[in-house]
Amino acid sequence: MFKELKILKHHGKQYIEDLRKQSISPLFRGRPLISEKISEEEINAAAAVCPVRAIDSRTGSIDLGRCVFCKECAFLLPESIEFTNDYRMACNDRNDLIIKPGDKSSLVINEMKIRKEIRDLFKGALKLRQVSAGGDNSCEMELSASCNVNFDLGRYGVEFVASPRHADGIVITGPISVNMSRALEITYDAIPEPKIIVLAGTDAISSGIFEGSPAIDRSFLEKHHIDLYVPGNPAHPLTFINGIMDLLGI
Amino acid sequence: MIMNIERQYIALKNNAPSEALKNVPVLSYEAFRERIISCLQDENKHCVSYYGVKTDDNNLRLICCFADDSDNSIQIFSAIIGKDISSLDSAAVESPQVHIFEREIHENSGIMFRGHPWLKPVRFAHNRADTLKTIDNYPFYFIHSEELHEVGVGPVHAGVIEPGHFRFICNGEKVHHLEIQLGYQHRGLEELFISKQDALQSCILSESIAGDTSIGHSLAHSQLIESLSGMEVSEGLQIERCIALELERIAVHIGDTAALCGDIAYQLGQVVCEALRTMVINTTQLWCGNRFGKGLIRPGGSNYPLNSEISDAIVDLTTAISKRFGEVTDCIYLTPGVLTRFDEIGVVTKKQAHIIGAVGPSARTCGIMRDTRKSHPFQYFKKYNIEPVILDSGDVLARGMIRNLEVHESLKIIRDLLKTWSLEKGKIEKPVYSYKLKPENFSVSIVEGWRGEICHSAVTDKDGKICHYKIKDPSFHNWMALALAVRNQEISDFPVCNKSFNLSYCGHDL
């Protein structure tokens, strides 16, 4: 008994009080800043080094839906590209994930594009089903961590459930392998309407480094509306949590 | 390189320069098979990789790599199978540990292995020989019986984990047989290493083989590239890599302890270990900006050289973990309610572990001394002698306990390595992406990840381009251990058995 109490005393308070304002390691690779003054030559060099074609060689913008956050473009051009530790990168509009030279503000949810039923029905409680479809298990572990003793997303009534029948939506990780495509469709169909779809991690949003592999099948995404994009490699728990809170208006 | 007199094999060392492909002896298939069977009777040897490479004239070259723990060598030999040959004699009856490799070769090339007990599909790879067979129409093994019933689980599981299908055949509550069917995670990784020849793309791919082992797999990849290109890295960098690898091991082992406690509803153990794991991965994030160490390991150098600030943070971490993980595991493993759920549950015997060629903690909990940090040392482990933890009960308790003991061993390794690092820290080079690989060469690279032996091997063509890339995650051997562990167990013990192994789906499916 005393041993347990001692452990609890050392354990102390673990939960993050304000999930909106939690500070994070300065080296964390979050939302990039691209200098307005970036030259055409520099853009071409950055686009050439990018392993996932996330940098547009015409405009110099970085697509966070494609970016694997390796930071090699910033190592190459430290004067023109910088990765800040801003983890608030989740959006509901795919185009908002494209960061243009000169963009300085945090990414925000486009309120106009949130389906009305989402806040009406899910604000107090959102139960999610997670489907890993070729995910590498880092995104899955970060989603688990979102509900752990530190991040405790459950405080807002958001949690992962064990059956699609109990769920209000699906969180997809991974580039969607051919071998998982049918199981993903079946899981989605088993969730009662209305339901949301969240894509967590670069692999899910754009297939990332797996682009062009004959072993992936992304046709599911063409058929359905996506409610939230959570970039990252893997998506950090705070990116996911802030995205969900923004979507629900918490 | 040591050439055997009869030229039956060549012996390479781990983390050493590559070898010209022409020096790998080509045996007749009969001699090749004989060699597999005779060598694997020696308990010091096990199969680390065995696969087929398409030759220029469309034949299949089978390449087999054995690790010999008695002399730290990796023995390699091969056989060429003509394109008109459709079946071969299996070696799996005499040497069961090659069963999975023969299944993989069969699935990819269509070659039938005569006498193989069960040429069950491995992962339904996109480039498999028989595309009529799909993962969705796979006929599971079944037994006609009035008494038995089946329980199907997956591919999507109840928790936030990767997909795989488990089919139990039960007699009442007792598991008679468990069939594990994987492949849902198949992303075509090995072929992507060939289609994307770019150095940085290959690094990112290697980090995504299994995201929970990013450091282990990216180190195996970088080591392989350094071997094929003749690059040498400084001692300082080798030390940093070993520290990163041990941090990964500590983080996962603590996370697994939390998960084991969670499965038996022991909340104190679960929440305390979850918080401790967060501390470890946040330290990795402090070092390189990513909680899983993505971006930390690169060929030839590092973008995130260790500095005194991070080194101090790691030292503080080891002190805190040592104390707090120590006190919570004392509590966990002295609680009768925990022990009744772990003790003598899911036993894998030493004999079984040898037969299936188990690696990593799954082997070390069955009394087998198999730790490549000691037997096939790489990076700074060539100079730093580790003491592998060996337990012998082969049950869930042993697999829980080995995590506890290995965390403390890794903490000691990190403290010792940091001391060495602080004395002789030199300048760390930038990563090298413009390397040139030696043409028509072969190399193999082994790293002891937290799950066990990771093996990457590659063959280059006449232009020095990678023309075959083979990845072997330790789970490839160890999934069979899980299937054996749950035999004759209560089905309700499956979750703790599964967690106690914590095997990789994506590392297996590639």
Determine the pLDDT at residue B6: 63
Of A138, A163, A175, the CB nearest to B212: A138
Confidence class of residue A245 from pLDDT cuts 50, 70 and 90? very high
Burial class, A129, CB count within 10 angstroms (exposed 0-12 / middle 13-18 / buried 19+): buried
Q: pLDDT tens digits for B181-227?
A: 999 999 999 999 999 889 999 999 999 999 999 999 999 999 999 99
- Residue B194's closest chain A neighbor by CA? A213
pLDDT tens sequence across A82-96: 999 999 999 999 999
ipTM above 0.90, yes or no: yes
Residue B338 burial (CB count, 10 A): 19
Q: Is A48 on the interface with B (CB under 8 A)?
A: no
A137 touching B, CB under 8 A? yes
Report the residue of B248, B288, B290 to disrupt the A interface, i.e. the one with the largest count of A CBs within 10 Å. Answer: B290
φ, ψ of residue A131 to 5 degrees: the values are -125, 120
Please give the pLDDT value at position B231.
92
Q: Which of B224, B257, B219, B251 is nearest to B238 (CA)?
A: B219
Q: What does the pLDDT look like over A142-162, one tens digit per residue? A: 999 999 989 999 999 999 999
| Structure confidence at residue A56 as a pLDDT band (50, 70, 90) | very high
C-alpha distance from B325 to closest chain A C-alpha (Å): 10
Nearest by CB to residue A140, choosing from B127, B162, B201, is B162
Distance CA B294, CA B204 (A): 8
Q: Which residues of A touch B275 (CB under 8 A)?
A: 11, 14, 149-150
Q: Which residues of A touch B211 (CB under 8 A)?
A: 135-139, 141, 234
Whether B156 and A131 lie within 8 Å, measured CB to CB: yes
B188/A27 touch (CB, cutoff 8 Å), yes or no? no
Q: Do B156 and A145 touch (CB under 8 A)?
A: no
pLDDT for B276: 95
**Calpha distance A198→A143 (Å, rounded):** 12
CA B17 to chain CA mean position, Å: 22
User: Which is it for strands B466-472 and B2-3: parallel, antiparallel or unpaired?
Assistant: unpaired
Interchain pair A175, B187: CB under 8 A: yes
pLDDT cut 70: percent of chain A above it:
100
3 state SS of B263: helix
pLDDT for B1: 47
Taking the mean position of all CA atoms in its chain, how far away is CA B113? 25
The tokens for A185 are: 């469709």
- CA distance linking residue A143 with residue A24, whole number of Å: 17
Tokens found for residue B354: 């040898």
Residues of chain B with pLDDT under 50: 1, 3-4
pTM over 0.80: yes
* Per-residue pLDDT reduced to its tens digit, A157-213: 999 999 999 999 999 999 999 999 999 999 999 999 999 999 999 999 999 999 999
* Maximum alpha-carbon separation in chain B: 71
pLDDT in tens, B331-362: 999 999 999 999 999 999 999 999 999 999 99
A84 in contact with B, Cβ within 8 Å: no
Residue A117 Cα, gap to closest chain B Cα (Å): 26
